[in-house]
Chain A
Amino acid sequence: GAGVSQSPRYKVAKRGQDVALRCDPISGHVSLFWYQQALGQGPEFLTYFQNEAQLDKSGLPSDRFFAERPEGSVSTLKIQRTQQEDSAVYLCASSFWQGSTEAFFGQGTRLTVV
């Protein structure tokens, strides 16, 4: 498809387990964003990339969170030693370039840590 694709759609992890969430942006989109959305809240910024460069990771809540986009297309958000408070929907978005154009979101990965 032509949209942003995220996998898996749902992930249940035991506390302490490492997880990896994948995002396939729209082809040709330079900017890629990761957001965390808790129930009843707006999306909270985690990090973003321009091509393969991670320009801002100020939103990553701890050093257990790590994101990469090594070839400037697919991105992976990794969470190490998951904790219950990590339970949320993780949204990926891409845009042709940053800031002033429309960002297209994937359907998200719903992570539940038990």
Chain B
Amino acid sequence: RKEVEQDPGPFNVPEGATVAFNCTYSNSASQSFFWYRQDCRKEPKLLMSVYSSGNEDGRFTAQLNRASQYISLLIRDSKLSDSATYLCVVSLGGSQGNLIFGKGTKLSVKP
């Protein structure tokens, strides 16, 4: 079982739609959680960190459920420019602070 698993996608949605991505992680000792965005043939870039209390950044809302080892990302009022692959990322922190990536979920927003 992979350490970080995501919906395989692709998600094809019209502009203005609300779309949700889910992610589960296997290591209960994980301490830090992130969503990264990767455009085609580009490097991953941090979209947002994920906090236990949940956090929002404009149209994007991230939530963490430590008990279920589950992370989500909600995108409201999706734009054409949101089309990308969204990567769920966890870290154990400390001396084991390498970032573990999921395979990513591809989102395509259509006019």
**Interface residues in chain A, defined as those with a beta carbon under 8 Å from any beta carbon in chain B:** 31, 33, 35, 41-45, 48, 55-56, 59, 91, 93, 97-100, 102-103, 105-108
**Which B-chain residue is minimally distant from A107 (CB atoms)?**
B43
Within 8 A of A (CB), among B81-100: 87, 91-100
**Which B-chain residue is minimally distant from A108 (CB atoms)?**
B43
**Interface residues in chain B, defined as those with a beta carbon under 8 Å from any beta carbon in chain A:** 4, 31-32, 34, 42-46, 49, 87, 91-104
Question: Can you list 21 A-B contacts (CB < 8 A)?
Answer: A33-B99, A42-B4, A42-B101, A42-B103, A43-B44, A43-B87, A44-B101, A45-B98, A45-B100, A48-B97, A48-B98, A98-B95, A98-B97, A99-B93, A100-B31, A100-B91, A102-B46, A102-B49, A107-B42, A107-B43, A108-B43
Give chain A nearest CB distance to B59 CB in angstroms: 20
Q: CA of A42 to CA of B34 in the docked complex: distance in angstroms?
A: 14
Given contacts A99-B91, A106-B43, are A31 and B101 in contact (CB under 8 A)?
no
B46: chain A residues at CB < 8 Å are 102-103
Of A44, A93, A100, the residue contacting B93 (CB under 8 A) is: A100
